[in-house]
A and B are shown apart, each in its own frame.
Chain A
Amino acid sequence: MPGKPLLEFTDKGIYCARGDFYIDPWKPVDDAVITHAHADHAYFGHKNYLAHHLSREVMLHRLGDINLRTIEYGETVNKHGVQISLHPAGHVIGSAQIRVEYKGEVWVVSGDYKTEDDGISTPFEPVKCHHFISECTFGMPVYTWKPQSTIFADVNNWWQSNLQNGFATVIVGYSLGKAQRILQNLDLNIGKVYTHGVIENTNEALRRNGIMLNPTERITFDSSKEEVRKGIILAPPSSVGTPWMRKFAPYSFGYCSGWMSIRGAKRRRAADRGIVLSDHADWNGLISAIDATGCESVYLTHGYTASFSRYLNEIGFDAHEVHTLYGGEEDAPSQPPPEGEDAPSKSPPEGETSLVSRSVNASPSGGGWVGAGI
């Protein structure tokens, strides 16, 4: 297949023709390599799935009876002479970058990632490659994160002061990733952690997978409201403003997301506390991660792709914008944040696919994804 790049972009997802497999495809395919279990990356309907060991139970929990093979970080799978291996992405437990090698040419698909060690996901490791396909959800310089020790000191203080002022504490984060990160960093001397069922189901899946999580108590019809109000309530975004949440009133409600760096976004959420906590790399994290790959070209799949690629080109990278269904270009401020838990876990709605194929045909300026390979 002369002139065809090792990885290419199709209306089903990122495709390796040489090895005949897809990475994070959003349409049903035969062989799918999955970076992580979030709904905008792990879709339902593929014949065979390949993912990391630590994604196993969550994927089975979310996608049901699928044909799933799991491997360790660094372990290599060979398909038609193409070597596939997984490397830690630091995004959530079990998240992986996908390294693809054929005849010495190396491509890496980042999936979603963050560079800070959150203490619970295997820390991000840069992987040397020729071509790096990166997310850039927070690819604007206004997004810079504080160290998580500072953030959680604030969270624990807030919890404590709510107790003193007679407020229950509700902390909101995505059920896979954010929830466990919060759980492991709460000061359990202050009180117990109570969980919404959606989060507890994910916790149980992770515990089945051998992850040691701090103790939690599932909130049920039998839970004593008074007891729950003395602890902290860990809830998913979908529960905000529901009667389920209101029954704990009066409460103070904190929303954990990178979008909370911007005052306007925080005010829109009407959260009492906008806690700037993200499982994605910030501006500096993205640049250092891309730099560390030593790549010749970088392809940006989702986030502020236009601005970020322009900046990367200015500072000497060969950067290109590509369009995918991950996270969704720029739409996060108005849509559910990029972890994508609220997105349907099946095929995307009709109509969006035409958008993708149109974007693929319209090669980005400066070369583009199609035909960009060797």
Chain B
Amino acid sequence: MKAFAQLFLSLDETNKTNEKVKVLKDYFANVPDTDKMHMLALFTGRRPKRQINSTLVRTWAMEASNIPVWLFEESYQVVGDLAETMSLLMPESQNSSSKTLTEWIAEINALADKTEMEKKLWLMDSWAMLDSQERFVFNKLLTGSFRVGVSQSLVIKALADITGIEAPALTHRIMGSWMPEDYTYAQLIEEQSAADNISRPYPFFLAYPIQETSEKRKSAEEVGVALGEAADWQAEWKWDGIRAQMIKRDGQIFIWSRGEDLATEKFPELHPFLNALPDGTVLDGEILSFQNGQPLPFSILQTRIGRKTLSKKILADSPVAVIAYDCLEHEGKDIRTMTQAERRLILEKLQAKTTYPEIFRLSALIEFGSWEELETTREQSRAMIAEGVMLKRKNATYQVGRKRGDWWKWKIDPLSVDAVMIYAQKGHGRRADLYTDYTFAVWDGDKLVPFAKAYSGLTDAEINKVDYFVKRNTLEKFGPVRTVKPELVFEIGFEGINKSSRHKSGIALRFPRILRWRHDKPKEEADTLDSLRALLPGQG
């Protein structure tokens, strides 16, 4: 654990990419192979199962630190990270421990069949033998998500340097479902083929945005200058669903979402068509809710995400289908190095043979002779229930991760309203102890009605200014939330809007964020609830 704690500390102690890679390499070079795999699992989001619920961990941490509950909670608000708060509040340990990461994780996993009392004794003993940095990472193991400020690609780069295996191959080998207990370092670095692990997905190829905000809007002419001849590109709608990779190998099917979650059971409607595919087929596409052959807004699909069991009603209200846009494996062969156009032909042939054309759909190609023509077509996105258009270079291979060059997303401008900030809450991580999470309201008569929360979109300098304002203009405090003097106006952008009975305002937004601070607008000139309602689908 000392090496792992030091790894964390060293990664925190530099902002330079090369230094971080060096730190990661040093770690790999100095720990046992089992520790390497555990580290890799943790750094790619494969956390050990939580064996003690976080309420108990919190309670026992308060006991160990000997402070009242309210002070613990307020400390947490200052620190913005539970694992870190607990490690800062506990008295310094008197003992030390030389257990490896592997040994610690084995102990954590062995808690599964222990009584609460045994768990408590174990935890108190463990805390007492760890120094504060070790305690921090240990608490992370127990409770938190392991966000480390190091991208997976840096970890892969370090591993590639150590093993001499190319980064894309390594990225592929750590995809899918594996746990460090059943995947050894020796297996990771030996020669592999796609069939070695029949459930393993390929790394997703992600598009780069052409424009992010309305202020940076690009014209057709600029797009043409950047991308060249329109004839070299294919265009499709950018669907607003769940990006998924669908695998049929050895008579078995697997559905992976982009977050590397195995989601096979969540989409039973897709099973018949997948089972009917030839073995050795992997498709890339978007899962959407459909009704009468028309895609439905994401909010409909959202109602079934996260449900443990899918009731008949949900399946009836929100039936799904796939819009497929790529084929990555065909007849058992990895075809990612073929061109976009070649892969498209294979995909079209596969789709032509399906007996489930309502479920296995093709992402239609948009015909366009010039960038100007495509720009005009793009304006229909919202009517198509799409977020904009995708551009794919016809001779592009299927690459790994978000790469600039061959795949672009050209989204339409978000919807937006001007709203007044009315509540603020402190953020987490690098925004700890700063008011960064805001609730916004629009006018309903002479009242301000909250309608959206947003966390992102401001620069660090702007956040500092808003934080300064919040601290000096607090009207009331409710736990961590402050009611602030309604004064600051922001332009809030969002991708979609729907009716909602769960919200006071009667509406729910998709992906709200701050587009800009409207220093020029007094609060009286913010938008109204009626102007928001006018944006609802079917309201023109």
Q: Which residues of A contact B (CB under 8 A)?
A: 140-142, 144, 252, 261-268, 270, 272-274, 304, 307, 310-311, 314, 329-331, 333-335, 355
**A-binding segment of B26-34, B82-90, B311-319, B365-373:** B82-90
Q: A264-B428, A265-B433, A267-B429 are in contact. Are A141 and B71 (CB under 8 A)?
A: yes
Q: Is B431 an interface residue (CB 8 A)?
A: yes
Closest chain B CB from A256 CB (angstroms):
14
Q: Does A142 contact B431, Cβ atoms closer than 8 Å?
A: no
Q: Does A264 contact B75, Cβ atoms closer than 8 Å?
A: no
Q: Is B180 an interface residue (CB 8 A)?
A: no
Closest chain A CB from B466 CB (angstroms):
9
Q: A142-B88, A331-B468, A331-B471 are in contact. Are A272 and B79 (CB under 8 A)?
A: no
Q: In the bound complex, what is the Cα–Cα distance between A353 and B533 (angstroms)?
A: 43
Q: In the bound complex, what is the Cα–Cα distance between A212 and B463 (angstroms)?
A: 43
Q: Does A264 contact B429, Cβ atoms closer than 8 Å?
A: yes
Q: In the bound complex, what is the Cα–Cα distance between A247 and B123 (angstroms)?
A: 49
Q: Which of B68, B79, B89, B471 contacts A264 (CB 8 A)?
A: B79
Q: Is B286 an interface residue (CB 8 A)?
A: no
Question: What chain B residues lie within 8 Å of A330 (beta carbons)?
Answer: 433, 471
- 6 residue pairs A–B, Cβ–Cβ below 8 Å: A142-B88, A267-B12, A272-B16, A310-B70, A333-B432, A334-B468
Task: Look across to chain B and name the residue whose beta carbon is closest to the beta carbon of A158.
Answer: B13
Question: What chain B residues lie within 8 Å of A329 (beta carbons)?
Answer: 471
Given contacts A142-B85, A268-B430, list 8 more A-B pairs with CB under 8 A: A140-B78, A141-B88, A262-B78, A268-B460, A270-B15, A272-B15, A310-B71, A355-B472
Q: Does A334 contact B67, Cβ atoms closer than 8 Å?
A: no
Q: Does B78 contact A142, Cβ atoms closer than 8 Å?
A: yes
Q: Is B149 an interface residue (CB 8 A)?
A: yes
Q: In the bound complex, what is the Cα–Cα distance between A314 and B428 (angstroms)?
A: 28
Q: In the bound complex, what is the Cα–Cα distance between A141 and B74 (angstroms)?
A: 10
Question: What chain A residues lie within 8 Å of B13 (beta carbons)?
Answer: 272-273
Q: A141-B71, A272-B14, A311-B71 are in contact. Are A265 and B467 (CB under 8 A)?
A: no
Q: Does B430 contact A141, Cβ atoms closer than 8 Å?
A: no
Number of A-B contacts (CB under 8 A): 85
Q: In the bound complex, what is the Cα–Cα distance between A329 and B472 (angstroms)?
A: 9
Task: Look across to chain A and name the residue whose beta carbon is closest to the beta carbon of B431.
Answer: A264
Give a binary string over B1-39; 1 marks a CB under 8 Å from any A CB, 0 the rest: 000000000001111100000000000000000000000
Q: In the bound complex, what is the Cα–Cα distance between A172 and B346 (angstroms)?
A: 61
Q: Is B488 an interface residue (CB 8 A)?
A: no
Q: Does B74 contact A334, Cβ atoms closer than 8 Å?
A: no
Q: In the bound complex, what is the Cα–Cα distance between A314 and B471 (angstroms)?
A: 25
Q: Does A333 contact B84, Cβ atoms closer than 8 Å?
A: no
Give a binary string over B430-473; 1 marks a CB under 8 Å from any A CB, 0 the rest: 11111000000000000000000000000010011001100110
Q: Which of A273, A307, A333 contacts B74 (CB 8 A)?
A: A307
Question: What chain A residues lie within 8 Å of B71 (beta carbons)?
Answer: 141, 307, 310-311
Q: Does A141 contact B67, Cβ atoms closer than 8 Å?
A: yes
Kindly list the 10 A-B residue pairs having the minimum CB-CB distance in the complex, ordered from nearest.
Answer: A264-B432, A267-B430, A142-B88, A334-B467, A333-B433, A334-B464, A264-B430, A142-B75, A307-B74, A264-B80
Q: Does A264 contact B88, Cβ atoms closer than 8 Å?
A: no
Question: What chain B residues lie within 8 Å of A311 (beta carbons)?
Answer: 68, 71
Q: Is B275 an interface residue (CB 8 A)?
A: no
Interface centre among A141, A252, A268, A334 (most CB of B within 10 A): A334
Task: Look across to chain A and name the residue whose beta carbon is closest to the beta carbon of B18.
Answer: A250
Q: Is B65 an interface residue (CB 8 A)?
A: yes
B residues 452-502 in Cβ contact with A at 8 Å: 460, 463-464, 467-468, 471-472
Q: Does A333 contact B434, Cβ atoms closer than 8 Å?
A: yes
